[in-house]
Structure 1
Amino acid sequence: MQRIIPAILTANPEELRENMEILKGHTKWLHIDIMDGKFVPNTSANLFELGEAAQFFHLEIHLMVEHPEKYLEDCSGIGAKRVIFHAEAVDSPEVVLQKMEEYGFQKEIAVNPPTPALKLASYIEKLDALLVMGVNPGFQQQEFIPDVLSKVSEIRRLKQDVLIGIDGGINEQTVKQAFGAGVDYACAGSAVMKTSDPVAALKHLEEMIS
């Protein structure tokens, strides 16, 4: 099933709570960006600011951090369903994937625009999902990099049944292009959350791919 997942990127705990309240009852999945100011320049609200969010959403936690393995226990503590870390952030993705397996998370890796799909070949069979970054990570409201869509078919050749998402630069100008390339879901941040009516913006994007 093709899906739009709203994405929240904020360092303000109050804004995080307000955004989640707005989305309650309007989306099954919620994508939360966690940033450490090291792997990417920005920082975000911490995991525990999510409170009881897992009662209302399937939480997809996007770790834009160094040493993502150090965050897994906290991800489990807040009830995350799917955890994403960056291939570029670790020396041995297999080690982190094994730890994720122990917690029972759906396992997903994100790849930045310059990273070739073939870099994933040695461990893609261990993945439940793969997130193609449509922008360089760490900031919302960036311009989409269309060349990244060529990775989608390359990833399918490596593993036919892997779930493929795209994150960054998704809006009403780019969403059809992304799904036309074969992604299964798209994370939409500012195109939803930075509008005057996030719920209406989310529904509009969903209608565009239905």
Structure 2
Amino acid sequence: MIIDHFFMVIPAILAKTKKEFEYKAKSVMSYCDLIQIDVMDGIFVPNKTWADIDVIKHMHLPVEFEVHLMVREPEVVIEDWAKAGAKRIIFHIEATRNPKECIKIIKRFKRQAGIAINPKTSVARIKDFLKKIDYVLIMGVDPGFSGQKFQPSILNKIKRLKKLAPNIKIGVDGGINKKNAKDIKKAGADFLCVASSIFKSKNLAKAVDVLNNI
């Protein structure tokens, strides 16, 4: 899955149990080409998710998946996720002392590399890595829990990043709904990672379609 000029909505799966993971994954497989698996360790972020690498590897998911590593020292688990089949691997700049090593491992397995930044993190902090990665994921909320309110200041951050690196692909994750998605897209986002607005909807197919066609 290569993100090009098309705008994309990626369902983000934040699950506490295997059962919840399987339910959410199966619920959206017919409506998307790529899903995001949220991996939280309860250390870098206050929440912890179910994301058993070996189990997921043997699920043979019919759609491609990326992993959003909200974990301390992501370099420890990147190789395992690459071997499990993740096509895109995202790590937080705030979670590692060695972002170069993270990127190096991801690229060694020929995966797409993404760096995520929290709402309070300046885009200047990732400036030196922009030519080495495929995309940036800007958090619209503080990472850890779904259902939070989107922070409007993120719109200016998207614009600043787009000006700094016009060719970099930009994603936004957290607090996204049909009311603010249009502004996020207009600011320069190429893709949205969405959890609550999709999985809390009574009609998942419609929720995905609405966001894809803003």
TM-score, normalised by the number of residues in structure 2: 0.92
- Following the alignment from structure 1 to structure 2, what is the Cα–Cα distance between the partners of residues 69 and 112? 18
Q: Which amino acid counterpart does residue 73 of structure 2 have in structure 1? A: H
Gaps of 5+ in 2: 1-5
What is residue 71 of structure 1 aligned with on the other side? 77
- 2:104 aligned with 1:95, yes or no? no
Deviation at 1:52, TM superposition (A): 4.7
- Residue identity opposite 1:164 in structure 2: I
- Do the aligned residues in 1 keep the contact of 2:79 with 2:105 (CA within 8 Å)? no
Return the alpha-carbon distance in structure 1 between the equivalents of residues 133 and 86 of structure 2: 16
Tell me the SS of whatever aligns to 2:26. helix
Where does 1:54-65 land on structure 2 (aligned, <5 Å)? 55-65=61-71
Question: In 2, distance between residues paired with 1:54 and 1:190?
Answer: 25
Of residues 34, 41, 60 in structure 1, which corresponds to 2:39? 34
Please say which of residues 96-105 and 27-36 is displaced more in the overlay: 96-105
- Per residue, is there more helix in 1 or in 2? 1
Residue of structure 2 equivalent to 1:178:
184
Distance (Å, rounded) in 2 between the aligned partners of 1:137 and 1:85: 12
Q: Distance in 1 between matches of 2:117 and 2:159?
A: 14
Query: Is 1:188 aligned to 2:198, yes or no?
Result: no
Instruction: Give yes or no for contact 2:68–2:91 (8 Å, CA) kept in 1.
Output: yes
> 2:50 maps to which residue?
45
Q: Deviations over 1:165-207 (max 9, x none)?
A: 0000001111111001010000110000122222221112222
Return the match for 2:175 from 159, 169, 172. 169
Distance in 2 separating the partners of 1:92 and 1:73: 15
Q: Structure 1 counterpart of 2:34, which letter?
A: W
Matching of residue 4 in structure 1 with residue 9 in structure 2: yes
Q: In structure 2, what residue type is equivalent to 1:70?
A: V
Residues 123 and 53 (structure 1), Cα distance of their counterparts in 2 relative to 1, 3 Å cut: same
Aligned ranges 1:97-136 → 2 under 5 Å: 97-136=103-142
The answer to whether the 8 Å contact 1:17/1:50 transfers is: no
Following the alignment from structure 1 to structure 2, what is the Cα–Cα distance between the partners of residues 153 and 172? 20
Measured in 1, the distance between the counterparts of 2:111 and 2:126 equals 19
> Which moves more between the two structures, 38-47 or 53-62?
53-62
Runs of 4+ in 1 over 3 A off after TM superposition: 51-55
Report how far residue 53 of structure 1 moved.
5.4
The AA in structure 2 aligned to 1:38 is: I
Of residues 144, 154, 157 in structure 2, which corresponds to 1:148? 154
129-138 or 197-206: bigger deviation: 197-206
Residue 91 of structure 2 corresponds to: 85
Alpha-carbon distance between aligned partners in 2 of 1:199 and 1:7, rounded to the nearest angstrom = 14
Equivalent position amino acid for 1:27 in 2: C
The percent of aligned pairs where both chains have the same amino acid is 35
Q: CA RMSD, aligned part only? A: 1.4
Distance of 2:71 and 2:60 partners within structure 1: 22
CA distance in 2, matches of 1:54, 1:165: 26
Give the secondary structure class of the aligned counterpart of 1:99. helix
Give the aligned partner of residue 23 of structure 1: 28
Q: Secondary structure at the match of 2:179?
A: coil
